[in-house]
Amino acid sequence: ALILHKREVFFFWLCSMATRTQFENSCEIGVFSKLTNAYCLVAIGGSENFYSTFESELADIIPVVKTSIGGTRIIGRLCAGNKKGLLLPNSTTDQELQHLRNSLPDQVVVQRVDERLSALGNCVVCNDHVALIHTDLDRETEELIADVLGVEVFRQTIAGNILVGSYGVFSNRGGLVHPHTSIEDLDELSTLLQVPLVAGSVNRGSEVVAAGMIVNDWTAFCGLDTTATELSVIE
C-alpha cells in the first residue's frame, strides 16, 4: 500500500509539473534534449520557442546549454548523465567536448567513452544514485559509469527490452517506464532504484517513454502529443 501511495504521489506530481513542448515538428523531445539536476542540454537548430520553454523553467537554477554531439542533434539519445557527470560517445568532437566542459558547472565531470554501443542515451538510464544499463555494455564502460556518474550500476532490462535508456526515465523522486512492465518488474526495479515507478506511455501511446519525456527532481517536460490521461496508467 505504501508503494502504491508513493506511486500515486509521484504520478500527481508528474502530471502537474510536466510542460508540453516539441522540437520543430517532433514530439520526441527526449531525443533532442537531456535534463539533470545540474544542467540541461538542448540540440542546436531548434526553434527559439523550444529553447525558451526550457529557459523559462530552468535558467534561474541550472544552465541550459545548446550543443550538438558528433555533429548531430539527437543529443538525448547519445549521452548519459546526472548532476555529477556527463558521458559522451566517441563521435563527440574535441570542439563539442570543450564547449560542454566550459558550459557546465565545474563539479560536472565530462568524459568521452570508447564504447561500441555508442548511443549511450539508449543504453543507460540513471539518477544521481543508481544506473540501469544495457546488458551488453563493455565492462570498462560500466566502470566509467560508476566512477564518473558516482552511481551503483545494474545490468537490467525493462519489460524485456535491453534498451533501458529508451524505455525508462527517472529522477531521485520517481520514474516512468514502458507501459507493459509487469507489477513484479515494477516492484523489482523500484527496489533497485529506491524510487516509486509508474508504468505508462507518452505522446498518445508511444512506449518509448524516454524519447518523449525528460525529468529531474523538480520539473518535467514531455512531447506536445502527451495526453493528460496518459501518465495515469498506473497498473
Instruction: Give the sheet arrangement for strand 109-113, strand by strand.
Output: 80-81, 85-89, 109-113
Q: Which amino acid is at 209?
A: V
Cβ-Cβ contacts under 8 Å for 46 (sequence gap 6 or more): 23, 24, 32, 73
pLDDT at residue number 228: 74
CA distance 172 to 174: 6
CA 3, CA 11: separation in Å to the nearest integer? Answer: 12
235 pLDDT above the threshold of 50: no
Q: Is the pLDDT of residue 214 over 50?
A: yes
Model confidence at 233, in pLDDT bands (50, 70, 90)?
A: low
**Amino acid letter for position 126:** C
Q: What is the pLDDT of residue 1?
A: 58
Residue carrying the nine cell digits 533532442:
32
For residue 128, give the nearest of 39, 24, 1, 48 by alpha carbon: 39
2 versus 196: which is more confidently predicted? 196
Mean of the per-residue pLDDT values for the chain? 92
Q: Do 175 and 168 touch, CB atoms closer than 8 A?
A: yes
220's enclosing H/E stretch is strand 220-223
Domains, the chain, in order of start with CATH, read 2-227 (3.75.10.10)
pTM of the model as a whole: 0.93
